[in-house]
Structure 1
Amino acid sequence: MSDRLFQLLNDAQHRLDAGFSHLPPNPAPPLDEAASAILHQVADRLQDNYPYAHPLYAGQMLKPPHPIARAAYALAMSVNPNNHALDGGRASSSMEVEAVSALAKMFHLPQHLGHLSSGGTFANLEALWVAGQLTPGKAIAASDQAHYTHSRISSVLGLPFHAVPSDASGRMGLAALEHLLETSNIGTVVVTLGTTAIGSVDPLDQILLLQQRYNFRIHVDAAYGGYFTLAANLTPETRAAFDAIPHADSIVIDPHKHGLQPYGCGSILFRDPAVGRLYKHDSPYTYFSSKDLHLGEISLECSRAGASAVALWATQQLLPYVPGGAFAQGLESSHTAALELYRRLAQSNHFFTPSHPPQLDIVFWAAKAPTPEASSALAQAIFDEAATRDLHLALAKLSTRFFPHDTWKDLSRSNQETTVTCLRSVLMKPEHLLWLDQLWQRLQAAAEKVTVNTPLEPT
């Protein structure tokens, strides 16, 4: 944190403390020299990390929380509220209701029931638990590019799971989905708006048309990509999927991904508030301080950090979810950066690019080599060399069908599909667009060094 932010936090802490100044003094345990030494050890240990907050880190989905989120979270931790019940977090529970309402408004939901969670996994669990209660015994279907948590959750819930083959762009295949729906065994279809591997966006608008012909629930897993509903520079195809969100039965979005929040902060929203009846339960001791509906009555998860709600609420006040606003412009910058990186990769002599440009802000590409095996080995070498230049990428094992049919000649002749280890970047920091030249120069230099004496064209 900057000195200025420390000062702002210190001032706010004094203001918070003043609200309890009428109580008898109860000083906190002192932090002495021993504590100082331990904190210095912590600082040293934490240096054993990639520089996640820096623009040269362009690997996994790690976006630094906004300074106001960090400060608000730290401020709330002096109270350490628990948002499971009003007894444990009156102010933070109220702020959570407001923060969740802002998410629902962003998705244009006319009404909703929802709350924050510890992350997308638990939020998805809750959505599929509700789906299982409403369509008992029926299967869950999701794209083969959907997050692996859905198959795990289905197993935990004792529900059958079916993976739907995706197309060459990584989107759920509609013909394959309809074939499954014809069995009448599918109770819920999980539609992913922003897969975590390649950022693909399933065609929600078209899946809604199938829902008119077949009886099933639609759950939107927008844990990663949901905030892109605010972006004005999406393709018409991608825009249509996001515009259809208000018609889904449930939605998951993770503020700790693109929402500039500390981990863990997920969220679940239901279009029909009547699903709240499924949560009905009794507690012998927790809920006597208020007759108002509390968040523990509409959540599977019990104890939850009220500080997460405070941090999200504060961030929303500074950066509201409005089209064309500063928050939306940051998402647009990330998408623009991904498209520009894709364009440069396509013109490079060192790389193969997939058939389709990025739908959001995730870019993947293969090292140019005669076979997928050679390409995979070269990608690993480039990954390692880039890291020595302080450029941190990611590796992903992906299907060769995401690339043009003739990318690897042996595969095109045999019509064979296999996997190839690709290089991958998540350009989720708005400043990635400003740093793109730096990223590109380091990537090119790494590729040039490791491809010495390596054929540049497939044979």
Structure 2
Amino acid sequence: MITFQPLGTKLMYKTLLPLLERWFDEAELQGFSLPYSYHSDSQSDAETFTKKAKSVFEVFMSRMGSCYPFHQAAYAGQMLKPPHPAAWLAYAIATSVNTNNHALDGGPETSEMEKEVIRSLSRMVGYEPGTTLGHLTSGGTVANLEALWVARCLHPNKPVLFSAQAHYTHSRMCSVLGISSRAIPFAFGSEEEVDRFRASIAGAGTLVVTLGTTGTGQTEPLDVILPLCMEAGVRVHVDAAYGGFFTLLKNSGFLRSAPFEALGGADSIVIDPHKHGLQPYGCGCVLFKDATVGRFYKHDSPYTYFSSDELHLGEITLECSRAGAAAAALWFTIQLLGLEPDSAFAAMLRQCLEAARRFASVIGDDPRFELLMQPETDIVCYFPKAGTADDISRLSREIFRDTMQQGDKSLYLSLYKVDGKEFSRLFPHVESGNPTEPVTLLRSVFMKPDHLVFIHEMHNRLRASLQRITAQ
């Protein structure tokens, strides 16, 4: 059975678990947070219920034990980061109260925590908290939906533009909202390319820039794009769902600092605390530089918003019911770890970037593998060397399957498809075959600090897998 606790955090869990027990003891004394009885108080019924609960729990644990080991360093597949134990503790406690941050009536204290969190995130990205509007969401999809909805409200007949590397949610949500949209090239290497970009954005309402693309973790050149959009009167929305928290490291030397330095100039920003913010799913966030866009959310309700004359979060969100536990967990985490460049929070992010760079260096030195590109954040794409693109795709898929089947020496990766023509441009020495077919590569996401000490073991498992496959 899989061990669910993250490596290296056993002591922290042992420290925090008694706090959870203390909460329930104190809550029982105060008589407000423990659930009421859902069954009879008779002794026989209680014994039957206990027996059934134990039986169901065994089945539950058996089924959960079949999950991939997301919390362990051997898992470097998808964007799944274990919540910090502090977030897990706060979420568990807040869930027992089950507040709803739609209105102060349903979550007075967790609503205040959410407002404090929004101020912290606003400062982090370079916004002025006093003039910023924002709130938490169930995830980046809804957060981007809200940003695009505001874009439509401001420019109802103008298209939304983005690059080919943008998350598919943007084209999908534009379709939902009835907004015309299209992908345009983000190329700025020559004056001709810059002129083509200017021509492409003419007449647009909003341009989406991604800091931390989901495929390769690249940061699009916001610092170059922003002044061009301002010149053309085009709004800029930044999808920093994955890369937003890396702004804490903008002066660390690990990142291209300019795109993150420019972040405060964007009109709206999306960040996902449930990615690099150490939070459980689902916790997204949308921020607007100009708080006056709140006028588009304005509505009235005959049965909420009565406990206070202050702004209720439900008056500035598209979602209605939202878990107050998400705000509580994020607030607790930020209070404990800090959200400054020299904080423990930033130190953990730095380890993730360092792990990706070490792995890229090891892969770059191995004659059997090749990098797609140098990592900009903590995602590395690479492939086993072969004479043809078809063989590269085949070997990548076989390694992906083989590494998961090695017991306690397993490795969990993901796959990434690259346009065949683009791959041929980058690697002309590889026989392309059918250039219309995508080339499948390996992809590793180094979201856990524990990856830093696992790099050489991971490399050994990759090499062993390739050797098993080629020996067949």
Q: Which of the residues 315, 324, 348 maps onto 2:366?
A: 348
Deviations 1:184-210 (A, max 9, x none): 1x1000000001011011100111110
Corresponding residue number in structure 2 for 1:114: 134
Q: Distance in 2 between matches of 1:91 and 1:80?
A: 12
Is 2:20 aligned against 1:9? Answer: yes
Structure 2 vs 1, CA of residues 174 and 27 (structure 1 numbering), >3 Å: closer, same or farther? farther
Q: 1:216 aligns with which of 234, 243, 249?
A: 234
- Distance in structure 1 (CA, Å) of the matches to 2:468 and 2:254: 40
**Larger helix proportion, structure 1 or 2?**
2
Amino acid at match of 1:372: A
Written as runs of structure 1 = structure 2, the 5 A alignment for 1:181-196 is 181-182=201-202, 184=203, 186-196=204-214
1:164 equivalent to 2:184? Answer yes
Residue aligning to 2:398? 381
Q: How many residues align?
A: 444
Q: Distance in 2 between matches of 1:425 and 1:179?
A: 37
1:393 alignment partner in structure 2 = 413
Question: 3-state DSSP class of the match of 1:281?
Answer: coil
* Residues 27-426 of structure 1: pairs in structure 2 closer than 5 A: 27=37, 29=39, 32-110=50-128, 111-166=131-186, 177-182=197-202, 184=203, 186-232=204-250, 238-354=256-372, 356-389=373-406, 390-400=410-420, 401=422, 405-411=426-432, 419-426=438-445
Q: Which amino acid aligns with 1:378?
A: L
Q: Distance in 2 between matches of 1:309 and 1:253?
A: 14
CA distance 1:25–1:283, shift in 2 (3 Å) = closer
Q: Distance in 1 between matches of 2:35 and 2:172?
A: 50
Secondary structure of 2:67's aligned partner? coil
User: Which whole-Å deviations, capped at 9, do the CAs of 1:179-234 have from their partners, x for residues lacking one?
Assistant: 3113x1x1000000001011011100111110232011100000011000012576
Pick closer, same or farther for the CA change 1:223–1:425 going to 2, 3 Å: same
Question: Is residue 249–residue 255 contact of structure 2 (8 Å, CA) maintained in 1?
Answer: no
Change (3 A) 1:42 1:302: same
Whichever residue aligns with residue 204 of structure 1, its letter is L
Distance 1:382 1:168 in 2: 36
Distance 1:151 1:93, change over 3 A: same
Shift, 1:324, TM fit: 2.0
Q: Check whether the contact 2:145–2:173 (CA below 8 A) recurs between aligned residues.
A: yes
* TM-score normalised per structure 1: 0.91
The one-letter amino acid of 1:376's match is: S
Mean CA deviation greater in 397-406 or 30-39 = 397-406
The one-letter code matched in structure 2 to 1:130 is V
SS in 2 for 1:162: strand
d(CA) in 1 for partners of 2:157, 2:252: 38
Q: Distance in 2 between matches of 1:206 and 1:232?
A: 16
User: Unmatched 5+ residue regions in structure 2?
Assistant: 6-12, 40-45
What CA distance in whole angstroms lies between the structure 2 residues aligned with 1:201 and 1:304? 30
User: Conserved in 2, the CA contact under 8 Å of 1:372 and 1:408?
Assistant: no
What is the match of residue 8 of structure 2?
A: none
- Three-state SS of the structure 1 residue aligned to 2:349 is helix
State the 1:138 CA deviation: 0.8
Local SS of the residue matching 2:162: strand
Give % identity: 46
Closer/same/farther in 2, CA of residues 96 and 452 from structure 1, 3 Å limit? same
Q: Could you tell me how far 1:238 is from its partner in structure 2?
A: 2.3
For 1:269, what is the secondary structure of its paired residue? strand
- Equivalent residues of 2:424, 2:430 under 8 A apart: no
Aligned-pair CA distance for 1:330:
1.1
Deviation at 1:128, TM superposition (A): 0.5
How far 1:71 sits from its partner (Å)?
A: 1.0
Deviation of the 1:113 alpha carbon:
0.5
Partner of 2:468: 449
2 CA distance for matches of 1:432 and 1:392?
Answer: 12
Three-state SS of the structure 1 residue aligned to 2:296 is: helix
Amino acid in the other structure paired with 2:134: G
Provide, for residues 353-381 of structure 1, a one-character-per-residue CA deviation record: whole Å limited to 9, x for no partner: 12x31100000012211111111001011
CA change 1:3–1:340 in 2 (3 A) is: closer
